Each structure stands twice: as C-alpha cells, then as structure tokens.
C-alpha cells in the first residue's frame, strides 16, 4: 500500500506537470509572430487559401477554444497533423522516435559499461596515475562540445581511416538488397528478431560513431559520480572487515562497494537518458540520423507548431516516467530511502 499510494500521488503530479507544459507550449506556439495557415497552404499562398486554411485549422477560434480542441484530440490519441508534411504526427513519431531510442539506449549502454568500471577503479586507486587520467577523461567528457567531437570522429574514422561510415542508420546497399523488416523501428532489435545478421552488422557499424559521441557526456558523469561515492563507501567499516576476512579485492569493489555506490550513478544516468532525447539533436543532424532530434529541428526551422508541442509533451512524459522509476529503484536498493 505504501508503494501504491506513492505511485498514485506521483501520477497525479505527473498529470499536473503535463497539463502545465501543454498550456505553456501551446500558448507560446500561438503568440510567436508567424502564420501557420500560410505555412499549411505552402509557397505563394493567396489570401483566400490562407483564410480557408485558417478556418480548417480552427485558427480563427478563441485561444482557449483552440486549446480545448487540442486537448480533446490528444485524449483520443490524436496528436494533430504536421504543418510541413500534412501527415499525422503520430505516424511521424512511430518513424522517428524508435531511431532516437535506439541511439540513446546504445549511448547509455556505453556509458554504463565504460563509465562505471572506470569510476570504481579510479576510486579504488585514489591519487594514482590511473586516477588522474580517469578524472581528466571525465572532465573532458562533460566539457567537450558535442558537435566538435562528432566532426572530429567523422574526420578520423571516415575521412582518414575509412573504417566507419559518415552517417545515416543503414547503407544504401542494405536498404536496396537486404532491407530490415521493421517490427519495433529499432534496427538492431529488428535485425535480431528477423534473423537479418547482415542488417545487424550494418546497423551496428552505423551506430558506433553517433553512439560514442552521445555517450561522452554520460560517461564523464558516470565516472565522476561513481568515483565520488566509491571513495565514501570504501572507507566504511564493513569494507575494512571484508578485507580483513580475506575477500578478494575484485569482489569487494564490484560487489560489496558498488552495490551501495551505484545508486547516485543510476540517478544521474537516468536523468542523462531523458536529456539525451533532446540532446541528441546535434548528433542526429551531423550524422544524418533520422530521429526525434532531426524531426524537431525541421519543425523549428519550418515553425511547425503542432510538432513542436507534441515533441515537448513526449519528452516531458519520458522525464516524468523516468523520474518515477528512479525513485522506486532507489527505494528498492536503499532501505534508508522513504517514499513520501
């Protein structure tokens, strides 16, 4: 009952957050000096065409009525229609969101696999050369501009070494001769589910550079947070007792100590996951990755208000859900955490 009550309270707060975000983004989208009706009609519209489009889009109605119509459609699962493509936004999200999720999940996996072990070893070897180099790498990870790193990796691995592709999700040859049958929209998972091993290899090759670029920031955070908490945990009495009992250093570091040190790192990486959904914008544009960031960039350039509002709500939903999951995970891992 304690967990159920907490989840219900958080869900009610989430509803209030979503309503507030929808109101703010909707109002901002309407007060910005632009004409969605003219954008809807296309280039060189006539006044009659603009007036007709304004009536079709209900832009001639009061602002509150427009918002109520929008919310009513949203509750039915209708996100509206893109001003640029004239396609349902829900259809666009099914195409773009899985690509971003695949990229962000790959980046988070790299951050966990690389950042957490380095943070553990850095904390265990405080003051050593390895510790100094690891701390330098963590500072570089959170400080290096994403666009600069992306261009540098393209220059090195594509232009100089010819090892990895410049961008895109798959090669043109694969798309033509051995296309991936889409189930989830995430090509790596779909390749595994359909047994398309050539598609899996091609997808992973194209995923390496954008995933590494996006992973640098959470890797730096994971190293710094894990090292900081490891320094605290390794000074605890139960760690000294475990060493006195003859338990191996690897078991002490990666089992006993990491179990308590990993909780703040999980929180940081969880928030980094949500941040990366929109932070991937530059990465997706540079690597021609057809994801949510590219979709949002095109919407901003074309003043596509329905898309901007919808993407904002989608990211807000992810933020609320991830925060709730992180709180529950913290409470499950640390008995000192209370759910209120």
Query: Same structural domain for residues 38 and 167?
Result: no
Domain harbouring 329, CATH code: 1.10.3720.10
Contact 193, 183 (CB under 8 A): yes
Give the count of beta carbons closer than 10 Å to the beta carbon of residue 172: 8
| Sequence-separated (6 or more) residues with CB below 8 Å from residue 229 | 123, 260, 261, 262, 263, 264, 265
User: What pLDDT, on a 0 to 100 scale, did the predictor assign at position 266?
Assistant: 87
**For range 264-277, the mean pLDDT:** 84
**Radius of gyration (Cα) for the chain, nearest Å?**
24
User: What pLDDT, on a 0 to 100 scale, did the predictor assign at position 305?
Assistant: 81
Query: Same structural domain for residues 155 and 61?
Result: no
| 167 closest CA partner among 59, 72, 284 | 284
Q: Give the CB-side neighbour count of residue 59, counting CA atoms within 13 A.
A: 20
User: What pLDDT, on a 0 to 100 scale, did the predictor assign at position 337?
Assistant: 60
Identify the DSSP state of 155.
I
User: What pLDDT, on a 0 to 100 scale, did the predictor assign at position 339?
Assistant: 62
Contact 74, 90 (CB under 8 A): no
Question: Which residues share a beta bridge with 81?
Answer: 88
Query: Same structural domain for residues 69 and 104?
Result: no
Structural domain span for residue 52: 2-75
Residue 339 lies in a domain: no
Query: Same structural domain for residues 212 and 311?
Result: yes
Query: Same structural domain for residues 102 and 57?
Result: no
Q: How far apart are CA 2 and CA 78, in angstroms?
A: 35
Residue 99 lies in a domain: yes
Query: Same structural domain for residues 164 and 310?
Result: yes
Residue 195 lies in a domain: yes
In this structure, of 1-10, 111-120, 262-271, the range with the lowest mean pLDDT score is 1-10
pLDDT digits (tens, 9 = 90+) for 286-302: 998 998 888 888 888 77
Contact 227, 234 (CB under 8 A): no
Query: Same structural domain for residues 290 and 150?
Result: yes
User: What pLDDT, on a 0 to 100 scale, did the predictor assign at position 334?
Assistant: 66
pLDDT digits (tens, 9 = 90+) for 60-116: 778 788 888 888 888 888 888 888 778 888 888 988 999 999 999 999 999 999 999
**For range 255-278, the mean pLDDT:** 84
Confidence of residue 1 (pLDDT cuts 50, 70, 90): low
Indicate the length of the chain as a whole number.
Answer: 340
Give the count of beta carbons closer than 10 Å to the beta carbon of residue 27: 12
Which alpha helices (DSSP H) does 32-128 contain, by range? 36-41, 47-56, 63-75, 89-124
Domain count, the chain: 2
Contact 226, 245 (CB under 8 A): no
pLDDT digits (tens, 9 = 90+) for 211-258: 999 999 999 999 999 999 999 888 888 888 888 888 888 888 888 888
**For range 324-333, the mean pLDDT:** 77
Contact 316, 17 (CB under 8 A): yes
Query: Same structural domain for residues 196 and 118?
Result: yes
Confidence of residue 336 (pLDDT cuts 50, 70, 90): low
pLDDT digits (tens, 9 = 90+) for 170-193: 998 888 888 899 899 999 999 999
Q: How far apart are CA 6 and CA 30, in angstroms?
A: 36
User: What pLDDT, on a 0 to 100 scale, did the predictor assign at position 340?
Assistant: 63
Residue 169 lies in a domain: yes
Q: How far apart are CA 50 and CA 34, in angstroms?
A: 13
Residue 319 lies in a domain: yes
**For range 265-279, the mean pLDDT:** 83
pLDDT digits (tens, 9 = 90+) for 125-148: 998 999 999 999 999 998 888 889
User: What's the whole-model pTM score?
Assistant: 0.87
Query: Same structural domain for residues 24 and 140?
Result: no
Identify the DSSP state of 181.
P
Tokens of 225: 């947070």
Look at phi and psi of residue 180 and say left if phi exceeds 0, alpha if psi is from -120 to 50, else beta: beta
Tokens of 176: 């033509």
Query: Same structural domain for residues 125 and 22?
Result: no
Contact 269, 221 (CB under 8 A): yes
Query: Same structural domain for residues 130 and 177?
Result: yes
Give the count of beta carbons closer than 10 Å to the beta carbon of residue 56: 11
Tokens of 124: 């265990």
Query: Same structural domain for residues 103 and 36?
Result: no
pLDDT digits (tens, 9 = 90+) for 25-52: 888 777 776 677 777 777 777 788 778 8
């Amino acid at each position: 009952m304690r967990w159920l009550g907490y989840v219900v309270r958080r869900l009610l707060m989430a509803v209030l957050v979503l309503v507030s975000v929808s109101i703010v983004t909707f109002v901002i989208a309407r007060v910005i000096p632009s004409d969605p009706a003219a954008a809807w009609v296309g280039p060189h519209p006539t006044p009659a065409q603009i007036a007709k489009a304004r009536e079709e889009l209900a832009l001639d109605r009061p602002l509150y009525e427009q918002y109520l119509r929008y919310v009513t459609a949203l509750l039915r699962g209708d996100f509206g229609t893109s001003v640029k493509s004239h396609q349902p936004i829900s259809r666009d999200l099914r195409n773009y969101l899985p690509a971003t999720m695949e990229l962000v999940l790959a980046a988070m996996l790299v951050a966990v696999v690389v950042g957490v072990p380095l943070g553990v070893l850095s904390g265990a070897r405080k003051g050593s050369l390895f510790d100094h180099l690891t701390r330098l790498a963590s500072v570089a990870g959170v400080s290096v501009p994403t666009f600069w790193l992306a261009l540098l990796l393209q220059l090195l691995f594509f232009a100089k070494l010819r090892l990895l592709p410049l961008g895109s999700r798959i090669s043109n040859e694969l798309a033509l001769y051995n296309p991936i049958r889409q189930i989830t929209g995430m090509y790596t998972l779909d390749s595994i589910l359909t047994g398309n091993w050539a598609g899996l290899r091609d997808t992973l090759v194209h995923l390496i550079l954008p995933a590494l670029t996006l992973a640098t920031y959470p890797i730096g955070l994971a190293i710094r947070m894990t090292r900081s908490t490891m320094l605290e945990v390794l000074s605890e009495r139960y760690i000294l007792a475990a060493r006195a009992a003859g338990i191996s250093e690897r078991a002490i570091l990666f089992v006993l100590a990491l179990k308590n040190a990993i909780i703040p790192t999980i929180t940081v990486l969880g928030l980094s996951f949500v941040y990366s959904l929109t932070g991937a914008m530059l990465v997706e544009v540079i690597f021609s990755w057809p994801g949510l960031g590219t979709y949002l960039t095109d919407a901003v350039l074309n003043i596509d208000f329905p898309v901007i509002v919808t993407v904002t709500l989608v990211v807000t939903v992810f933020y609320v859900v991830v925060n709730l999951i992180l709180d529950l995970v913290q409470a499950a891992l640390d008995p000192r955490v209370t759910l209120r």
